[in-house]
Amino acid sequence: MMEKHFAGRTASPGMALGPLVAFAPETGTRAGSGAVDIEAQALRAALATALRDLRRLIEQSPGETADILAFQVALLEDDVLSEPAFAAIAEGRAAHDAWCEAMEAEAAGYEASDDEYFRARAADLRDIRDRVLAALAGSDPVAEVPPGAIVTAVDLAPSRFLAIDWSQGGGLALTEGSATSHVAMLARSRGVPAIVGLGVDLSEFAGHALVDAHRGVLILNPSPDARMQFERDLQSASTARARADVAALRPAVTLDGTPIRILLNIADPAELKGLDPAICEGIGLVRTELLFHDRHGLPHEEQQFAVYRRIVEWAQGRPVTIRTLDAGGDKPIPGVTLATESNPFLGVRGLRLSFARPDVFRTQLRALARAAVHGELKIMLPMVSLPRELAAARAMLDEEVPALLSAGVPARRASLGIMVEVPAAAIAADQFDADFFSIGSNDLTQYVAAAGRDVEAVADLADPVQPAMLRLLRYVVEVARAQRIEVSLCGDAGGDPRAIPLLLATGLRCLSMAPALVGSAKLAVAAVDLRTLPELAPWP
Ligand code: PEP
Ligand code: MG
């Protein structure tokens, strides 16, 4: 087969070679494997998932809904319903197609009935069909993606990414997606090479492929020459990695001797496993969204407390900044975020959503205040626009802490800071009575440049070190200095060696980044001479 090159954009650097596996798009189609036993097993697993989910829904549903669902359960439990689909699979059909066709035939049979009751049941059948298709498409991606595979998809939800076993390598190639999306961030923090924005149809991809995420190229059916080059590149990448690993354990100091504080961004405590806390001076951002993706519902206070405490204990006395739920935007959470927003990035996300769900917010504040007893925990609010939002959140924390204490539960009033990631907060930074600022350059860039972080076509405009951003960052840093407020930056730019000199030129002295980037960021810091950096234009 001919070697073919597809150009995209690097979302996470690195290289990987392996078999291509198409990951079903969110709409719920699962590509067939071509093997009868795998297809039959996939359908059996999807049926079991759908049944389990339905039973759980019944437990949570009021009378009439529970009755409808009970009808669906009865249908699903009856092997007669799935027999035609399994028969089609045995003849070589993919599980997705077999199930779709069998259920469509069944629904058509109901629709043709003279009895109105039966005609109305066709809708139930289609509901069941879709539930099983969704389970087929993504409920158990771990089983569907062999280790070391190059996963291709249009885009991928963060929870799906996390469900794949990346421990034995592999790579990610998305036809759409964006380098600042959350899945891209996760890929970087896990060291999974990823390319986004390939801009072709998924059906183009089959066979083996090489992800060259340094150059942003996917090479389909690589020739022997390309494979040899891959081996050489791997070798030099591992040399660079070894240099970065050594640098990671050293302090970050510029050429002129200025110390720079390096903190970590994590989304899951599992990322800390095997990591030496000595590489950082603390954790600058814990994204808590993934905790809320539990299939069993929202995490309760005890669950959250246990996770926060584990992170704080890992840090061994170093400060740990945990951000309250920042759902919404490109991080929807079923049952929490609003599904009907026309522009979720400008809607009820972050702290706005916490105010809309005070039950969820207060539970999280309690868990955080309890974990704060075990170390230097700080609480950070996302998507703050106005000073009164900070004041309202503070008032809630100031109610929850004494309530815990008077119930005999150890708790501590942790310091409360804000993400500076909405232009309104950055421009009026001097108006916020926050304990600390952390600049979210990912969102701040998208809002300043009016270029969506998930829109590949405008990625060039979403440059975090463009003049408007540098001017704004410099202003926020100056305000923080004048008011003696700690300021750091926890957006992706903080771990990007190309952005680091300019960030330091704004006056920033503390950067937070994915653990995998610490070594290369420290090397970039070591190459900066603050005495020779250009003076940035001040706020007019
Ligand atoms: C940011 O916006 O820069 C940030 C760090 O938060 P997130 O990427 O999780 O939105
Ligand atoms: Mg943000």
- The 10s digit of each residue's pLDDT in 415-456 is 999 999 999 999 999 999 999 999 999 999 999 999 998 888
* pLDDT score, position 405: 98
pLDDT for the residue 35: 86
Find the mean pLDDT for residues 132-137: 84
Find out whether 239 and 515 touch, Cβ atoms under 8 Å.
no
Question: What would the mean pLDDT of 288-308 be, rounded to a whole number?
Answer: 86
> In 3D, which of 169, 198, 196 has the Cα closest to residue 185?
196
Q: Which of 538, 64, 515 is nearest to 265 (CA)?
A: 515
Instruction: State whether the beta carbon of 464 lies less than 6 angstroms from ligand 1.
Output: no
More confident residue, 388 or 163: 388
Rank 104-108, 166-170, 497-501 by mean pLDDT and report only the highest: 497-501
| Domain 250-532 class, CATH top level | alpha beta
Q: Is 299 in the pocket of ligand 1 (CB under 6 A)?
A: no
Cβ of 453 less than 6 Å from ligand 1: no
Chain-centre distance of CA 372, in angstroms?
Answer: 25
- Mean pLDDT lowest for which of 113-117, 272-276, 425-429, 507-511? 113-117
Can you tell me which atom of ligand 1 is nearest the CA of 329?
Answer: 10
Q: Positive or negative, the Cα torsion across 490, 173, 169, 36?
A: positive
Determine the residue type at 469: M
The CATH code of the domain at 36-137 is 1.10.274.10
Span 130-149, mean pLDDT? 73
Question: For residue 209, what are the β-bridge partners?
Answer: 18, 220
- Kind of pairing between the strands at 208-212 and 217-220: antiparallel
**Residue at token pair 């996470």:** 12
Q: For 338-364, give the DSSP string.
A: -TT-S-GGGSS-THHHHHH-HHHHHHH
Confidence band (pLDDT; 50, 70, 90) for 196?
Answer: very high
The active-site residue out of 96, 100, 280, 490 is 490
Beta carbons of 320 and 311 less than 8 angstroms apart: yes
Q: Is the CB of 144 under 6 A from ligand 1?
A: no
- Ligand 1 binding pocket mutation candidate from 490, 510, 513 (most atoms within 8 A of CB): 490
Q: Is 193 in the pocket of ligand 1 (CB under 6 A)?
A: no
* Residue 64 pLDDT class (50, 70, 90 cuts): very low
- What confidence tier does 27 reach under pLDDT thresholds 50, 70, 90? very low
155 band by pLDDT with thresholds 50, 70 and 90: confident
Q: How many CB atoms lie within 10 A of CB 271?
A: 19
Q: Which of 177, 160, 227, 173 minimizes the C-alpha distance to 204? A: 173
Label residue 119 by pLDDT band (50, 70, 90): low
Catalytic site residue 296? Answer: no
Say if residue 338 is exposed, middle or buried (CB neighbours under 10 Å; 0-12, 13-18, 19+): middle
Mean pLDDT of 203-227: 91
Q: In this predicted structure, what is the pLDDT of residue 30?
A: 80
- Mean pLDDT (the chain) is 89
The whole-angstrom distance between residue 276's C-alpha and the CA centroid of its chain comes to 23
Q: Report pLDDT for 191.
A: 86
- The reply to whether ligand 1 has any atom less than 6 angstroms from the CB of 454 is no
Q: What's the pLDDT at 142?
A: 42
pLDDT-derived band at 181 (thresholds 50, 70, 90) equals confident
User: Which pair of structure tokens corresponds to residue 336?
Assistant: 């929490």
297, two tokens: 């519902």
Ligand 1 atom having least distance to the Cα of 439 = 3
CA distance 491 to 446: 12
Cα 440 to ligand 2 centre (Å): 5
Of the pLDDT bands very low, low, confident and very high (cuts 50, 70, 90), residue 110 is: confident
Q: What is the pLDDT averaged over residues 358-373?
A: 97
SS3 (DSSP) at 170? coil
- DSSP secondary structure letter of residue 331: B
d(CA 312, CA 376): 7
Q: Please, what is the end-to-end C-alpha distance for the chain in angstroms?
A: 59
pLDDT of 118 higher than 80: no
Ligand with smallest separation from the Cα of 439: 1
C-alpha neighbours within 13 Å on the C-beta side of residue 148? 5
Residue 56 falls in which region: left (phi positive, over 0), alpha (psi -120 to 50) or beta: alpha
- For the stretch 330-360, pLDDT in tens is 777 877 888 778 888 999 999 999 999 999 9
296 pLDDT tier (thresholds 50, 70, 90): low
pLDDT at 111 exceeding the cut of 80: no
| pLDDT value of residue 399 | 98
* Set 96, 182, 293, 374: catalytic member: 182
CATH topology identical between 4-25+142-240 and 250-532: no
Domain ranges of the chain: 4-25+142-240, 36-137, 250-532
| Residue 66 CA, ligand 2 centroid: distance in Å | 38
Assigned fold of 4-25+142-240: Glucose Oxidase; domain 1 (3.50.30)
The closest-lying atom of ligand 1 relative to the alpha carbon of residue 285 is 5
Q: Is the CB of 138 under 6 A from ligand 1?
A: no
Q: Measured from the CA of 182, which atom of ligand 1 is nearest?
A: 8
With a cut of 60, say whether residue 65 has pLDDT above it: no
Distance 344 CA to ligand 1 centre (A): 15
Rg (CA), the chain: 25
Ligand 1 atom nearest to 438, measured from its CA = 5
> Does residue 510 carry a catalytic annotation?
no
